[in-house]
Amino acid sequence: MSVEAEKAASVFRELFDKQRERAEKMAAAGKTDFSARPLRIGIAAGDGIGPLIVEQAEAALRLLLKDETEKGDIVFEPIEGLTIENRLRLNQSVPEDTLEQIRRCPVFLKGPTTTPNGGTMTSANVTLRKALDLYANVRPVAVPEKGIDWVFYRENTEGEYALGSLGVEMPDFMAVDFKVITRAGTERIARAAFEHARKTGRKRVTVVTKANIMKKTDGLFSAVCRQVAAEYPEITCDEYYVDIMAASLIDPALQRGFEVILTPNLYGDILTDEAAQIQGGVGTAGSANMGDRYAMFEAIHGSAPRLIEQGLGDWADPESILQAAVLLLSHIGRREKAELLRGILKAMREEGIRVAKEEGGITCREFGREVLRRISAS
């Protein structure tokens, strides 16, 4: 065996052993009790346009939850240290003291964070998903006039993203990355998707794989999802390959038939961006990252550093992070307030109120003030 092959085998063996250990230890840590007082909601501003858009969402949350915060039942806690400058200084995707702050908050709203190109620093999101075991990425997409009402359940801790920065390479010759799917990891995301379908009266869960090609990993994902589906006989379970699913989401004859869409990590990342674009753009969709103990809510888009560099931060659209605030409110059981905010955002979109530099558009802060005005008037 060549030196390069021995090195690759050693790396793979170490990764394999760690993933096997993770799979063996994977177990529910117990659900967070959102009736406990005080409920701590963390706020992390993030990078680039993050502070601008998070400011609008935090203001909306504080107004909607004003009575509970005044009683001390809810406490907002700023999360410090999640900026790209601090992370680069420490060479940590999520600094330890920042992670400890986050762990004190069962739910937190997170602005987009920048991941450096190259180097070894992984995405802050990937690190947080692993550290807090946020295994379910949930993204709703709705376009009522097209009959679209989708909820994506994307597995959030496995697949290519679990090992994506830990592959091996022979410089200028060959590179190999790894993908991992576990039975336990698949079972819990599948159960979350089917439980959501049951609770909301949805009758169809569509599993997305490429099991005809990725026979071991996607094959396991497919098999476990179908085993879980057997426990929900009132719900139809079907399966699409990811390439056909991407095409079907833009097919008017098919798109209205989908309800809950259940995917491994990478496919879900791609498809939910496509779905958000159908809804009106990635700026219109929020994202929830949920586990059994913690939940993180964020915009679906990135930190857009170029907007800040070009002096265009005033035209950063806060709708996506406001949609994330809707998901946060629903997750902590404040469903009436969630529906109020969701309805306000829907009405503003239908009225053509949008953040844009051109004529007829408004700024990020003006959009936020209009949301607050409508909350106060409700």
Is the distance from CB of 360 to CB of 352 less than 8 angstroms? yes
What is the reported pLDDT for 255?
Answer: 96
Quick one: 367 and 252 in the same domain? Answer: no
What is the reported pLDDT for 189?
Answer: 97
Quick one: 208 and 144 in the same domain? Answer: yes
What is the reported pLDDT for 233?
Answer: 97
DSSP string, 159-208: HHHHHTTS-EEETTTEEE---B--HHHHHHHHHHHHHHHHHHT--EEEEE
Cα separations (Å) of 152 from 117, 139, 213, 267, 355?
Answer: 28, 5, 23, 11, 26
pLDDT block averages, 10 residues each, the chain of length 378: 77 82 70 76 96 98 97 96 94 95 96 84 87 93 93 94 78 86 95 96 98 96 98 98 98 97 96 92 84 92 91 94 96 94 94 90 97 97
Quick one: 240 and 348 in the same domain? Answer: no
Is the distance from CB of 109 to CB of 297 less than 8 angstroms? yes
Domain boundary among 246, 265, 290: 290
Distance CA 148, CA 144 (A): 6
Quick one: 348 and 265 in the same domain? Answer: no
Domain boundary among 235, 256, 290: 290
pTM comes to: 0.84
Quick one: 244 and 186 in the same domain? Answer: yes
Quick one: 277 and 317 in the same domain? Answer: no
101 Cβ contact partners less than 8 Å away, ≥ 6 residues apart? 42, 77, 79, 80, 81
Quick one: 71 and 114 in the same domain? Answer: yes
Distance CA 220, CA 214 (A): 9
The domain containing residue 198 runs over which residues?
A: 1-30+135-290
Distance CA 335, CA 344 (A): 14
Quick one: 249 and 303 in the same domain? Answer: no
Quick one: 152 and 255 in the same domain? Answer: yes
Quick one: 358 and 267 in the same domain? Answer: no
Cα separations (Å) of 183 from 10, 22, 24, 56, 191?
Answer: 24, 11, 10, 40, 12
Quick one: 195 and 275 in the same domain? Answer: yes
Distance CA 64, CA 322 (A): 12
What's the number of domains the chain is made of? 2
Domain boundary among 265, 290, 315: 290
| Main-chain phi, psi angles of 355, to 5 degrees | -85, 120
Distance CA 52, CA 347 (A): 22
CATH number for the domain spanning 302: value is 3.40.718.10
